[in-house]
Amino acid sequence: MSIKKILVTGANGQLGWELSQLVSSYPTFEFIFLDRTGMDLSKPNTFEKIINDIAPDIIINTAAYTAVDKAESEKEMAHTVNALAVGAIARISKQKGIRFITYSTDYVFNGVSSIPFLPDTPLQPINSYGSSKAEGEQLALQENEASIIIRTSWVFSSHGNNFVKTMIRLMKEREQLKIVDDQAGRPTYARDLASVTLKIIEGLNGGKNIQGIYHYANTGETTWYQFAEKIKALAGLSCDLIAITTAEFPTPAARPGYSVLDTHKIENELAIAIPHWETSLEQCIQKLS
């Protein structure tokens, strides 16, 4: 296919913003970035006119409802944005011959494993947020079998709200912090995820057959406590960190104990080497300082 125009939703989010920082290296493509005022995912009945007016060759949907705990009390909103909206964009993109890329999460799995989750591991979400994202995946593929779904985990960036920025702020404010040490995963630098998304677009433009579900996260497995320790070291902070269990830090939404994603499929198909999370964290913190 010949790709010229690319529509990106969620322009103000971590991933949408990181994409906007990289597009100058891709001058052959025209990117249109829309924030919530330009395309509100809580209003799927407005999508067709917006997409018709822009007439893109690809839609990259980086917008999502990501407030994991709030999703327990705002189930309907999470379901509309993460499931119904994704299905609607997939349906319109299929009708108009537009390629569709959207993102999902490690939270679609049950968190009970000792080996990394594969793209075809059966879904078993343990909270409302995970359920909404799992349904979004299913609707995307039902409505447009050529959809590309990229599952990711523990996303951080120098932009927006995320664990890295929260930890730096709290470590500056407090002498002591308690951090959960029995949940394991793979952190993901949104800039790296944005970069691999652009590689996918180049691949599609070159006639590569890319569709279905992929996993992308930075290499290296860690816990939230170990992640925080590394943030502390790289940011040169002196806050005392105390490792605690999930049971000691109850939250409205259940959290998976193990949500490590296996990324071999995307590495092999795109012939890419994924950076280690510590390397990417260092780059992110340099940008913040």
Spatial CA neighbour of 199 closest among 216, 182, 174, 178:
216
Q: What span, in angstroms and rounded, lies between the C-alpha atoms of 152 and 142?
A: 21
CA dist list (Å): 97 to 52, 86, 202: 12, 16, 18
Tokens 């920082």 -> residue = 21
- The residues assigned a catalytic role are 129
Residues forming beta bridges with residue 243, ordered by sequence position? 179
DSSP per-residue letters across 158-209: SSSS-HHHHHHHHHHH-SEEEEE-S-EE--EEHHHHHHHHHHHHHHHHTT--
Instruction: Map residue 41 onto helix, strand or coil.
Output: coil
